[in-house]
Protein backbone atom coordinates (compact mmCIF):
# COMPACT_ATOMS: atom_id res chain seq x y z
CA UNK A 1 0.00 0.00 0.00
CA UNK A 2 2.89 2.39 0.89
CA UNK A 3 4.53 1.83 -2.53
CA UNK A 4 1.45 3.13 -4.33
CA UNK A 5 1.67 6.50 -2.53
CA UNK A 6 3.72 8.03 -5.32
CA UNK A 7 1.29 6.90 -8.01
CA UNK A 8 -2.02 7.91 -6.36
CA UNK A 9 -2.90 11.52 -5.54
CA UNK A 10 -3.71 12.56 -1.95
CA UNK A 11 -7.41 12.62 -2.89
CA UNK A 12 -7.12 9.13 -4.35
CA UNK A 13 -5.45 7.82 -1.21
CA UNK A 14 -8.10 9.44 0.99
CA UNK A 15 -10.81 7.81 -1.12
CA UNK A 16 -9.03 4.47 -0.69
CA UNK A 17 -8.75 4.70 3.11
CA UNK A 18 -12.23 6.22 3.69
CA UNK A 19 -14.30 3.01 3.18
CA UNK A 20 -11.81 1.03 5.29
CA UNK A 21 -12.35 3.43 8.18
CA UNK A 22 -16.08 3.55 7.52
CA UNK A 23 -16.35 -0.21 8.04
CA UNK A 24 -13.89 -0.30 10.93
CA UNK A 25 -15.62 -1.61 14.08
CA UNK A 26 -12.77 -2.02 16.56
CA UNK A 27 -9.69 -0.14 17.66
CA UNK A 28 -7.18 -2.87 16.77
CA UNK A 29 -8.20 -2.75 13.13
CA UNK A 30 -8.26 1.05 13.15
CA UNK A 31 -4.74 1.28 14.57
CA UNK A 32 -3.47 -0.91 11.73
CA UNK A 33 -5.16 1.40 9.22
CA UNK A 34 -3.71 4.38 11.09
CA UNK A 35 -0.21 2.92 10.66
CA UNK A 36 -0.75 2.69 6.89
CA UNK A 37 -2.06 6.27 6.83
CA UNK A 38 1.13 7.47 8.57
CA UNK A 39 3.26 5.50 6.08
CA UNK A 40 1.46 7.26 3.26
CA UNK A 41 2.23 10.64 4.88
CA UNK A 42 -1.47 11.38 5.41
CA UNK A 43 -1.43 12.01 9.18
CA UNK A 44 -2.28 15.69 8.44
CA UNK A 45 -5.36 14.77 6.41
CA UNK A 46 -8.33 16.39 8.21
CA UNK A 47 -10.67 14.11 6.30
CA UNK A 48 -9.01 10.85 7.43
CA UNK A 49 -8.26 12.02 10.99
CA UNK A 50 -11.93 13.03 11.36
CA UNK A 51 -12.93 9.50 10.29
CA UNK A 52 -10.51 8.01 12.83
CA UNK A 53 -11.81 10.29 15.61
CA UNK A 54 -15.36 9.11 14.83
CA UNK A 55 -14.19 5.50 15.16
CA UNK A 56 -12.55 6.32 18.50
CA UNK A 57 -15.79 7.98 19.59
CA UNK A 58 -17.80 4.85 18.73
CA UNK A 59 -15.38 2.69 20.75
CA UNK A 60 -15.07 5.05 23.72
CA UNK A 61 -11.35 5.63 23.05
CA UNK A 62 -11.36 9.38 23.67
CA UNK A 63 -7.71 9.57 24.74
CA UNK A 64 -6.58 8.08 21.42
CA UNK A 65 -8.84 10.56 19.61
CA UNK A 66 -7.15 13.43 21.49
CA UNK A 67 -3.71 12.16 20.41
CA UNK A 68 -4.87 12.04 16.79
CA UNK A 69 -6.21 15.59 16.95
CA UNK A 70 -3.10 17.01 18.61
CA UNK A 71 -0.93 15.69 15.75
CA UNK A 72 -2.81 17.80 13.21
CA UNK A 73 -1.20 21.21 12.70
CA UNK A 74 -4.13 22.90 10.94
CA UNK A 75 -7.43 21.21 11.95
CA UNK A 76 -10.57 22.27 10.09
CA UNK A 77 -14.08 22.74 11.51
CA UNK A 78 -15.08 19.16 10.63
CA UNK A 79 -12.27 17.82 12.82
CA UNK A 80 -13.13 20.27 15.60
CA UNK A 81 -16.76 19.17 15.43
CA UNK A 82 -15.74 15.50 15.62
CA UNK A 83 -13.72 16.16 18.79
CA UNK A 84 -16.49 18.24 20.39
CA UNK A 85 -18.93 15.46 19.55
CA UNK A 86 -16.62 12.77 21.00
CA UNK A 87 -16.03 14.70 24.23
CA UNK A 88 -19.76 15.34 24.65
CA UNK A 89 -20.67 11.69 24.04
CA UNK A 90 -18.20 10.65 26.77
CA UNK A 91 -19.56 13.33 29.18
CA UNK A 92 -16.25 15.22 29.15
CA UNK A 93 -18.17 18.47 28.91
CA UNK A 94 -15.39 20.81 30.00
CA UNK A 95 -13.05 19.41 27.33
CA UNK A 96 -15.82 19.82 24.72
CA UNK A 97 -16.21 23.49 25.65
CA UNK A 98 -12.43 23.97 25.71
CA UNK A 99 -12.29 22.54 22.17
CA UNK A 100 -15.04 25.00 21.15
CA UNK A 101 -13.06 27.89 22.65
CA UNK A 102 -9.96 26.73 20.76
CA UNK A 103 -12.05 26.67 17.60
CA UNK A 104 -13.19 30.28 18.23
CA UNK A 105 -9.57 31.38 18.53
CA UNK A 106 -8.98 29.92 15.06
CA UNK A 107 -11.76 32.19 13.76
CA UNK A 108 -9.49 35.20 14.38
CA UNK A 109 -6.45 34.04 12.37
CA UNK A 110 -5.53 34.74 8.77
CA UNK A 111 -7.39 31.64 7.51
CA UNK A 112 -10.31 31.59 9.99
CA UNK A 113 -12.33 28.54 11.04
CA UNK A 114 -15.89 29.30 12.09
CA UNK A 115 -18.40 27.14 13.99
CA UNK A 116 -21.14 25.77 11.75
CA UNK A 117 -24.59 24.25 12.23
CA UNK A 118 -23.00 20.91 13.23
CA UNK A 119 -20.97 22.53 16.02
CA UNK A 120 -23.67 23.95 18.26
CA UNK A 121 -25.96 20.98 19.01
CA UNK A 122 -23.07 19.27 20.85
CA UNK A 123 -21.59 22.42 22.39
CA UNK A 124 -25.02 23.33 23.75
CA UNK A 125 -25.49 19.80 25.08
CA UNK A 126 -22.09 19.98 26.82
CA UNK A 127 -23.05 23.31 28.35
CA UNK A 128 -26.32 21.82 29.61
CA UNK A 129 -24.41 18.89 31.08
CA UNK A 130 -22.34 21.30 33.21
CA UNK A 131 -25.52 22.96 34.56
CA UNK A 132 -23.84 26.35 34.25
CA UNK A 133 -26.68 28.79 33.57
CA UNK A 134 -24.47 31.83 32.96
CA UNK A 135 -22.36 29.95 30.42
CA UNK A 136 -25.54 28.84 28.68
CA UNK A 137 -26.67 32.44 28.28
CA UNK A 138 -23.31 33.34 26.70
CA UNK A 139 -23.59 30.40 24.32
CA UNK A 140 -27.11 31.52 23.42
CA UNK A 141 -25.55 34.83 22.36
CA UNK A 142 -23.01 33.00 20.17
CA UNK A 143 -25.82 31.15 18.39
CA UNK A 144 -27.41 34.51 17.54
CA UNK A 145 -24.06 36.04 16.55
CA UNK A 146 -23.19 33.31 14.06
CA UNK A 147 -26.67 33.33 12.54
CA UNK A 148 -28.10 29.97 13.68
CA UNK A 149 -31.12 31.38 15.50
CA UNK A 150 -33.62 29.77 13.13
CA UNK A 151 -31.92 26.34 12.95
CA UNK A 152 -34.46 23.93 14.45
CA UNK A 153 -31.86 21.38 15.65
CA UNK A 154 -29.83 24.05 17.46
CA UNK A 155 -32.96 25.73 18.84
CA UNK A 156 -34.15 22.37 20.22
CA UNK A 157 -30.73 21.80 21.79
CA UNK A 158 -30.94 25.26 23.39
CA UNK A 159 -34.42 24.47 24.68
CA UNK A 160 -33.16 21.20 26.20
CA UNK A 161 -30.31 23.11 27.84
CA UNK A 162 -32.76 25.48 29.54
CA UNK A 163 -34.92 22.54 30.59
CA UNK A 164 -31.86 21.00 32.29
CA UNK A 165 -31.43 24.30 34.13
CA UNK A 166 -35.13 24.00 35.10
CA UNK A 167 -35.60 27.38 33.41
CA UNK A 168 -38.90 26.74 31.69
CA UNK A 169 -39.53 30.42 31.00
CA UNK A 170 -36.57 30.56 28.60
CA UNK A 171 -37.30 27.03 27.32
CA UNK A 172 -40.84 28.05 26.36
CA UNK A 173 -39.51 31.30 24.90
CA UNK A 174 -37.12 29.31 22.67
CA UNK A 175 -39.99 27.00 21.71
CA UNK A 176 -42.32 29.87 20.79
CA UNK A 177 -39.61 31.55 18.71
CA UNK A 178 -39.08 28.48 16.52
CA UNK A 179 -40.37 29.25 13.02
CA UNK A 180 -40.86 25.52 12.50
CA UNK A 181 -41.51 23.07 15.32
CA UNK A 182 -40.86 19.43 14.62
CA UNK A 183 -41.98 16.45 16.68
CA UNK A 184 -38.60 16.33 18.46
CA UNK A 185 -38.95 19.89 19.79
CA UNK A 186 -42.51 19.18 21.01
CA UNK A 187 -41.39 15.95 22.69
CA UNK A 188 -38.42 17.69 24.32
CA UNK A 189 -40.70 20.21 26.00
CA UNK A 190 -43.16 17.51 27.10
CA UNK A 191 -40.38 15.29 28.51
CA UNK A 192 -38.83 18.26 30.33
CA UNK A 193 -42.05 18.91 32.23
CA UNK A 194 -42.52 15.20 32.91
CA UNK A 195 -38.99 14.90 34.32
CA UNK A 196 -39.91 17.49 36.97
CA UNK A 197 -43.28 15.83 37.64
CA UNK A 198 -45.21 18.72 36.05
CA UNK A 199 -47.84 16.54 34.43
CA UNK A 200 -50.47 19.30 34.05
CA UNK A 201 -48.05 21.41 32.01
CA UNK A 202 -46.88 18.38 30.07
CA UNK A 203 -50.51 17.49 29.31
CA UNK A 204 -51.22 21.05 28.12
CA UNK A 205 -48.29 20.91 25.66
CA UNK A 206 -49.26 17.38 24.63
CA UNK A 207 -52.86 18.39 23.84
CA UNK A 208 -51.62 21.34 21.79
CA UNK A 209 -49.19 19.17 19.80
CA UNK A 210 -50.48 18.79 16.21
CA UNK A 211 -48.84 15.48 15.27
CA UNK A 212 -48.16 13.16 18.19
CA UNK A 213 -45.59 10.39 17.76
CA UNK A 214 -45.33 7.10 19.63
CA UNK A 215 -42.65 8.83 21.76
CA UNK A 216 -45.15 11.54 22.77
CA UNK A 217 -47.79 9.03 23.88
CA UNK A 218 -45.27 6.80 25.67
CA UNK A 219 -43.75 9.77 27.52
CA UNK A 220 -47.18 10.75 28.88
CA UNK A 221 -47.97 7.17 29.93
CA UNK A 222 -44.59 6.86 31.69
CA UNK A 223 -45.00 10.21 33.43
CA UNK A 224 -48.42 9.36 34.84
CA UNK A 225 -47.24 5.89 35.89
CA UNK A 226 -44.26 7.26 37.83
CA UNK A 227 -46.54 9.65 39.73
CA UNK A 228 -49.00 6.86 40.52
CA UNK A 229 -51.75 8.38 38.32
CA UNK A 230 -52.59 4.98 36.88
CA UNK A 231 -56.08 5.81 35.62
CA UNK A 232 -54.69 8.79 33.65
CA UNK A 233 -51.93 6.58 32.21
CA UNK A 234 -54.50 4.02 31.10
CA UNK A 235 -56.66 6.75 29.58
CA UNK A 236 -53.70 8.00 27.49
CA UNK A 237 -52.96 4.45 26.32
CA UNK A 238 -56.59 3.98 25.24
CA UNK A 239 -56.51 7.29 23.37
CA UNK A 240 -53.27 6.26 21.65
CA UNK A 241 -54.95 3.11 20.37
CA UNK A 242 -58.01 5.05 19.19
CA UNK A 243 -55.67 7.46 17.35
CA UNK A 244 -54.40 4.47 15.36
CA UNK A 245 -50.89 4.51 16.87
CA UNK A 246 -49.56 0.98 17.21
CA UNK A 247 -47.80 0.43 20.55
CA UNK A 248 -44.11 -0.45 20.41
CA UNK A 249 -42.29 -2.50 23.04
CA UNK A 250 -41.35 0.64 24.99
CA UNK A 251 -44.97 1.78 25.32
CA UNK A 252 -45.96 -1.74 26.42
CA UNK A 253 -43.31 -1.70 29.15
CA UNK A 254 -44.71 1.67 30.25
CA UNK A 255 -48.35 0.54 30.46
CA UNK A 256 -47.92 -2.95 31.96
CA UNK A 257 -47.19 -1.62 35.49
CA UNK A 258 -50.49 0.27 35.20
CA UNK A 259 -52.31 -3.00 34.48
CA UNK A 260 -50.56 -4.51 37.51
CA UNK A 261 -51.58 -1.69 39.84
CA UNK A 262 -55.17 -1.43 38.64
CA UNK A 263 -55.71 -5.18 38.31
CA UNK A 264 -56.57 -4.73 34.61
CA UNK A 265 -55.98 -8.38 33.78
CA UNK A 266 -57.91 -8.41 30.49
CA UNK A 267 -55.84 -5.53 29.10
CA UNK A 268 -52.71 -7.27 30.37
CA UNK A 269 -53.69 -10.42 28.51
CA UNK A 270 -54.27 -8.42 25.33
CA UNK A 271 -50.82 -6.85 25.68
CA UNK A 272 -49.33 -10.34 26.14
CA UNK A 273 -51.02 -11.51 22.94
CA UNK A 274 -49.96 -8.36 21.07
CA UNK A 275 -46.35 -8.68 22.29
CA UNK A 276 -46.22 -12.32 21.22
CA UNK A 277 -47.69 -11.52 17.81
CA UNK A 278 -45.16 -8.74 17.17
CA UNK A 279 -42.11 -10.63 18.44
CA UNK A 280 -41.64 -8.50 21.56
CA UNK A 281 -41.46 -11.49 23.90
CA UNK A 282 -37.82 -11.86 22.87
CA UNK A 283 -37.14 -8.76 24.97
CA UNK A 284 -36.40 -9.56 28.60
CA UNK A 285 -37.94 -6.32 29.89
CA UNK A 286 -41.32 -7.18 28.30
CA UNK A 287 -41.34 -10.63 29.91
CA UNK A 288 -40.35 -9.13 33.26
CA UNK A 289 -43.22 -6.63 33.09
CA UNK A 290 -45.69 -9.39 32.12
CA UNK A 291 -44.49 -11.61 34.99
CA UNK A 292 -45.11 -8.75 37.44
CA UNK A 293 -48.49 -7.94 35.89
CA UNK A 294 -49.80 -11.52 36.12
CA UNK A 295 -48.52 -11.91 39.68
CA UNK A 296 -50.12 -8.67 40.87
CA UNK A 297 -53.36 -9.53 39.09
CA UNK A 298 -53.54 -12.82 41.01
CA UNK A 299 -52.35 -15.28 38.35
CA UNK A 300 -48.94 -16.31 39.70
CA UNK A 301 -49.06 -19.61 37.83
CA UNK A 302 -49.13 -17.71 34.53
CA UNK A 303 -46.13 -15.72 35.77
CA UNK A 304 -44.25 -18.95 36.44
CA UNK A 305 -45.12 -20.28 33.01
CA UNK A 306 -43.73 -17.14 31.38
CA UNK A 307 -40.64 -17.24 33.57
CA UNK A 308 -39.95 -20.89 32.70
CA UNK A 309 -40.11 -20.13 28.95
CA UNK A 310 -37.73 -17.15 29.09
CA UNK A 311 -34.46 -17.55 27.20
CA UNK A 312 -32.55 -14.72 28.86
CA UNK A 313 -33.32 -14.14 32.53
CA UNK A 314 -31.68 -11.22 34.30
CA UNK A 315 -31.67 -10.39 38.01
CA UNK A 316 -34.97 -8.51 37.55
CA UNK A 317 -36.62 -11.65 36.13
CA UNK A 318 -35.58 -13.77 39.11
CA UNK A 319 -36.39 -11.07 41.67
CA UNK A 320 -39.82 -10.31 40.19
CA UNK A 321 -40.73 -13.98 40.25
CA UNK A 322 -39.50 -14.43 43.83
CA UNK A 323 -41.52 -11.39 44.96
CA UNK A 324 -44.58 -12.70 43.10
CA UNK A 325 -44.38 -16.10 44.80
CA UNK A 326 -43.85 -14.42 48.16
CA UNK A 327 -46.90 -12.18 47.76
CA UNK A 328 -49.01 -15.25 46.99
CA UNK A 329 -47.93 -17.02 50.16
CA UNK A 330 -45.69 -19.49 48.32
CA UNK A 331 -42.74 -19.05 50.66
CA UNK A 332 -41.13 -22.43 50.11
CA UNK A 333 -41.34 -22.02 46.32
CA UNK A 334 -39.79 -18.55 46.59
CA UNK A 335 -36.86 -19.93 48.61
CA UNK A 336 -36.38 -22.81 46.17
CA UNK A 337 -36.34 -20.35 43.26
CA UNK A 338 -33.68 -18.29 45.05
CA UNK A 339 -31.58 -21.43 45.45
CA UNK A 340 -32.01 -22.09 41.72
CA UNK A 341 -30.95 -18.48 41.08
CA UNK A 342 -27.77 -19.11 43.05
CA UNK A 343 -27.05 -22.24 41.02
CA UNK A 344 -27.53 -20.17 37.84
CA UNK A 345 -24.83 -17.82 39.26
CA UNK A 346 -27.07 -14.74 39.00
CA UNK A 347 -26.12 -12.23 41.69
CA UNK A 348 -29.16 -11.14 43.72
CA UNK A 349 -30.00 -7.49 44.36
CA UNK A 350 -31.94 -5.54 46.99
CA UNK A 351 -35.34 -6.50 45.52
CA UNK A 352 -34.44 -10.20 45.60
CA UNK A 353 -33.96 -10.04 49.36
CA UNK A 354 -37.15 -8.04 49.90
CA UNK A 355 -39.03 -10.93 48.28
CA UNK A 356 -37.11 -13.56 50.25
CA UNK A 357 -37.49 -11.87 53.62
CA UNK A 358 -41.16 -11.14 52.98
CA UNK A 359 -41.73 -14.82 52.12
CA UNK A 360 -40.03 -15.91 55.35
CA UNK A 361 -42.10 -13.40 57.35
CA UNK A 362 -45.44 -14.60 55.96
CA UNK A 363 -44.51 -18.25 56.46
CA UNK A 364 -42.90 -17.75 59.88
CA UNK A 365 -39.49 -19.13 58.79
CA UNK A 366 -37.53 -17.36 61.54
CA UNK A 367 -34.12 -19.04 61.25
CA UNK A 368 -34.06 -18.89 57.44
CA UNK A 369 -35.17 -15.25 57.40
CA UNK A 370 -32.49 -14.14 59.85
CA UNK A 371 -29.88 -16.11 57.91
CA UNK A 372 -30.87 -14.45 54.61
CA UNK A 373 -30.82 -11.02 56.26
CA UNK A 374 -27.29 -11.59 57.56
CA UNK A 375 -26.12 -12.99 54.22
CA UNK A 376 -27.02 -9.77 52.41
CA UNK A 377 -24.07 -7.93 53.88
CA UNK A 378 -21.77 -10.85 54.65
CA UNK A 379 -22.05 -12.75 51.35
CA UNK A 380 -23.31 -10.22 48.80
CA UNK A 381 -22.03 -6.87 50.14
CA UNK A 382 -25.57 -5.42 50.02
CA UNK A 383 -26.35 -2.94 52.78
CA UNK A 384 -29.86 -3.67 54.12
CA UNK A 385 -32.29 -0.82 53.48
CA UNK A 386 -35.30 0.24 55.49
CA UNK A 387 -37.53 -2.19 53.56
CA UNK A 388 -35.29 -5.11 54.56
CA UNK A 389 -35.38 -4.07 58.21
CA UNK A 390 -39.14 -3.77 57.87
CA UNK A 391 -39.37 -7.39 56.67
CA UNK A 392 -37.10 -8.56 59.51
CA UNK A 393 -39.15 -6.75 62.17
CA UNK A 394 -42.32 -8.20 60.65
CA UNK A 395 -40.78 -11.70 60.77
CA UNK A 396 -39.69 -11.29 64.40
CA UNK A 397 -43.08 -9.90 65.34
CA UNK A 398 -45.09 -12.64 63.64
CA UNK A 399 -43.00 -15.34 65.33
CA UNK A 400 -43.49 -13.77 68.76
CA UNK A 401 -39.94 -12.40 69.15
CA UNK A 402 -41.21 -8.93 70.02
CA UNK A 403 -38.26 -8.03 72.25
CA UNK A 404 -35.85 -8.88 69.44
CA UNK A 405 -38.02 -6.90 67.06
CA UNK A 406 -37.84 -3.80 69.27
CA UNK A 407 -34.09 -4.24 69.72
CA UNK A 408 -33.66 -4.54 65.93
CA UNK A 409 -35.53 -1.26 65.44
CA UNK A 410 -33.30 0.48 67.99
CA UNK A 411 -30.16 -0.77 66.18
CA UNK A 412 -31.29 0.32 62.71
CA UNK A 413 -28.79 2.63 60.98
CA UNK A 414 -31.68 4.75 59.68
CA UNK A 415 -34.74 6.24 61.35
CA UNK A 416 -37.59 3.68 61.42
CA UNK A 417 -40.71 4.74 59.55
CA UNK A 418 -44.38 4.37 60.45
CA UNK A 419 -44.66 1.08 58.52
CA UNK A 420 -42.07 -0.59 60.78
CA UNK A 421 -43.64 0.68 64.02
CA UNK A 422 -47.09 -0.21 62.68
CA UNK A 423 -45.93 -3.74 61.91
CA UNK A 424 -44.62 -4.12 65.47
CA UNK A 425 -47.87 -2.73 66.90
CA UNK A 426 -49.89 -5.22 64.85
CA UNK A 427 -47.75 -8.11 66.15
CA UNK A 428 -48.31 -6.86 69.70
CA UNK A 429 -52.03 -7.49 69.32
CA UNK A 430 -51.42 -11.00 67.97
CA UNK A 431 -49.21 -11.84 70.95
CA UNK A 432 -51.01 -9.65 73.56
CA UNK A 433 -47.94 -7.58 74.45
CA UNK A 434 -49.20 -4.25 75.83
CA UNK A 435 -45.79 -2.95 76.99
CA UNK A 436 -44.17 -2.95 73.56
CA UNK A 437 -47.47 -1.83 71.97
CA UNK A 438 -47.38 1.37 74.05
CA UNK A 439 -43.75 2.01 72.98
CA UNK A 440 -44.68 1.50 69.31
CA UNK A 441 -47.70 3.79 69.68
CA UNK A 442 -45.57 6.58 71.18
CA UNK A 443 -43.47 6.63 68.01
CA UNK A 444 -46.51 6.33 65.73
CA UNK A 445 -48.07 9.37 67.45
CA UNK A 446 -45.01 11.36 66.31
CA UNK A 447 -44.98 9.96 62.77
CA UNK A 448 -48.71 9.61 62.07
CA UNK A 449 -50.66 11.60 64.68
CA UNK A 450 -53.87 11.54 62.61
CA UNK A 451 -53.95 7.88 61.55
CA UNK A 452 -57.15 6.43 63.02
CA UNK A 453 -56.01 2.86 62.45
CA UNK A 454 -53.21 3.06 65.03
CA UNK A 455 -55.59 4.28 67.76
CA UNK A 456 -58.11 1.56 66.90
CA UNK A 457 -55.40 -1.12 66.97
CA UNK A 458 -54.14 -0.07 70.42
CA UNK A 459 -57.75 0.15 71.61
CA UNK A 460 -58.29 -3.44 70.47
CA UNK A 461 -55.18 -4.55 72.37
CA UNK A 462 -56.57 -2.94 75.54
CA UNK A 463 -59.94 -4.64 74.88
CA UNK A 464 -58.33 -8.08 74.35
CA UNK A 465 -56.64 -7.74 77.74
CA UNK A 466 -59.82 -6.46 79.42
CA UNK A 467 -58.32 -3.03 80.16
CA UNK A 468 -61.42 -0.95 79.47
CA UNK A 469 -59.98 2.29 80.82
CA UNK A 470 -57.41 2.14 78.03
CA UNK A 471 -60.17 1.47 75.47
CA UNK A 472 -62.10 4.51 76.74
CA UNK A 473 -58.98 6.69 76.62
CA UNK A 474 -58.29 5.73 72.99
CA UNK A 475 -61.87 6.45 71.95
CA UNK A 476 -61.77 9.85 73.60
CA UNK A 477 -58.55 10.64 71.73
CA UNK A 478 -60.16 9.70 68.42
CA UNK A 479 -63.19 11.94 69.17
CA UNK A 480 -61.06 14.86 70.38
CA UNK A 481 -59.02 14.85 67.18
CA UNK A 482 -62.19 14.61 65.02
CA UNK A 483 -60.48 11.83 63.06
CA UNK A 484 -62.34 10.01 60.31
CA UNK A 485 -61.52 6.63 58.90
CA UNK A 486 -60.28 6.67 55.32
CA UNK A 487 -63.12 5.26 53.19
CA UNK A 488 -62.62 1.87 51.61
CA UNK A 489 -61.87 1.70 47.91
CA UNK A 490 -62.05 -1.08 45.35
CA UNK A 491 -61.57 -1.40 41.61
CA UNK A 492 -62.96 -3.83 39.05
CA UNK A 493 -62.32 -4.30 35.35
CA UNK A 494 -65.44 -4.59 33.18
CA UNK A 495 -65.53 -4.42 29.38
CA UNK A 496 -61.83 -3.47 29.37
CA UNK A 497 -62.55 -0.41 31.54
CA UNK A 498 -61.32 -0.14 35.15
CA UNK A 499 -63.97 1.27 37.48
CA UNK A 500 -63.11 2.62 40.95
CA UNK A 501 -65.62 2.50 43.81
CA UNK A 502 -65.27 4.38 47.10
CA UNK A 503 -67.39 3.62 50.15
CA UNK A 504 -70.56 5.80 50.35
CA UNK A 505 -69.74 7.45 47.00
CA UNK A 506 -72.85 7.76 44.81
CA UNK A 507 -71.29 10.00 42.17
CA UNK A 508 -71.15 7.27 39.52
CA UNK A 509 -73.73 7.82 36.75
CA UNK A 510 -74.97 4.23 37.22
CA UNK A 511 -75.04 4.25 41.04
CA UNK A 512 -78.84 3.87 41.19
CA UNK A 513 -78.71 0.78 38.98
CA UNK A 514 -76.02 -0.75 41.20
CA UNK A 515 -78.00 -0.15 44.41
CA UNK A 516 -81.20 -1.51 42.78
CA UNK A 517 -79.31 -4.64 41.76
CA UNK A 518 -77.95 -5.03 45.31
CA UNK A 519 -81.48 -4.71 46.71
CA UNK A 520 -82.64 -7.34 44.22
CA UNK A 521 -79.85 -9.69 45.26
CA UNK A 522 -80.67 -9.10 48.93
CA UNK A 523 -84.38 -9.69 48.26
CA UNK A 524 -83.58 -12.85 46.32
CA UNK A 525 -81.44 -14.08 49.22
CA UNK A 526 -84.21 -13.25 51.71
CA UNK A 527 -86.85 -15.09 49.66
CA UNK A 528 -84.50 -18.04 49.31
CA UNK A 529 -83.97 -18.19 53.08
CA UNK A 530 -87.76 -18.05 53.68
CA UNK A 531 -88.31 -20.87 51.19
CA UNK A 532 -85.65 -22.98 52.88
CA UNK A 533 -87.35 -22.50 56.25
CA UNK A 534 -90.78 -23.37 54.77
CA UNK A 535 -89.40 -26.53 53.17
CA UNK A 536 -87.80 -27.56 56.44
CA UNK A 537 -91.09 -27.00 58.29
CA UNK A 538 -93.02 -29.03 55.70
CA UNK A 539 -90.46 -31.83 55.82
CA UNK A 540 -90.65 -31.77 59.60
Helix (H, G, I), strand (E, B) or coil at 499: strand
Packing angle of the helix pair 284-296, 265-277 (nearest 10 deg):
160
pLDDT at 292 over 50: yes
User: What average pLDDT does this structure show over 311-336?
Assistant: 96
Phi, psi of 493 (to 5 degrees): -110, 120
Kindly tell me if the per-residue pLDDT of 6 is higher than 50.
no
Question: Other CB atoms closer than 10 Å to residue 154's CB: what's the count?
Answer: 21
**Angle, vertex CA 444, rays to CA 438 and CA 448, nearest 5:** 150
Percent of the chain at pLDDT > 90 equals 58
**Lowest mean pLDDT: which of 57-66, 424-433, 471-480, 519-528?**
519-528
**Phi then psi dihedrals of residue 322, to 5 deg:** -65, -45
What are the structural domains of the chain?
Answer: 1-58 (no CATH), 390-486 (1.25.40.10), 489-530 (no CATH)
Does 3 score more than 60 pLDDT?
no
Half-sphere exposure of residue 258, counting CA atoms within 13 Å on the CB side?
29
CA-wise closest residue to 252 among 277, 497, 175: 277
Average pLDDT, the chain: 87
* The pLDDT value given to residue 430: 87
Of the two residues 103 and 455, the one the predictor is more confident about is: 103
* Region of poorest pLDDT, from 71-75, 329-333, 389-393: 71-75
484: pLDDT strictly greater than 60: no
Confidence label for 70 from pLDDT (cuts 50, 70 and 90): very high
**What is the tens place of the pLDDT at every residue in 114-132?**
889 999 999 999 999 988 8
pLDDT class of 179 with cuts at 50, 70, 90? confident
254 within 8 A of 227, measured Cβ to Cβ = no
Q: Which residues, including other chains, have CB under 8 Å from residue 83's CB and lie 6 or more apart?
A: 53, 65, 66, 69, 96, 99
pLDDT number for residue 151: 87
pLDDT at site 149: 80
Q: What is the pLDDT of residue 429?
A: 87
pLDDT for 243? 93
> 3-state class of 28 per DSSP?
helix
pLDDT band at 510 (very low <50, low <70, confident <90, very high): low
- 181 has pLDDT over 90: no
pLDDT at site 442: 85
Q: What angle do CA 379, 381, 383 make, to 5 degrees?
A: 120
Q: Residue 445: exposed, middle, or buried by beta-carbon count in 10 A (0-12, 13-18, 19+)?
A: middle
pLDDT of residue 132: 84
* Cβ–Cβ < 8 Å for 46, 71: no
Amino acid sequence: MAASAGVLSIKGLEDMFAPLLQNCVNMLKMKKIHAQIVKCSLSQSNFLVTKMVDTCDSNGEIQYASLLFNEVVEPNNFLYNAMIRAYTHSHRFLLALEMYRQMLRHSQVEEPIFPNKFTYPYVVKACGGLLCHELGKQLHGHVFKFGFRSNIVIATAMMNMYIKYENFADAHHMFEEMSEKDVISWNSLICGHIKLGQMKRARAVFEEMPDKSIVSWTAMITGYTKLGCHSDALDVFRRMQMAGIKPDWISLVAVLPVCAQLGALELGKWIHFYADKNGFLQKTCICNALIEMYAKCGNVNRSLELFDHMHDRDVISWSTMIVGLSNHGKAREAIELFQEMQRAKVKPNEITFVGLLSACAHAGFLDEGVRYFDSMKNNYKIEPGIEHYGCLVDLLGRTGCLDRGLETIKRMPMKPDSAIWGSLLSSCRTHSNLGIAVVAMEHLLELEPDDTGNYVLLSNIYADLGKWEGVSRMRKLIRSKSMKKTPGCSMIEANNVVQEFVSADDSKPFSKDIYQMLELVALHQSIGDDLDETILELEG
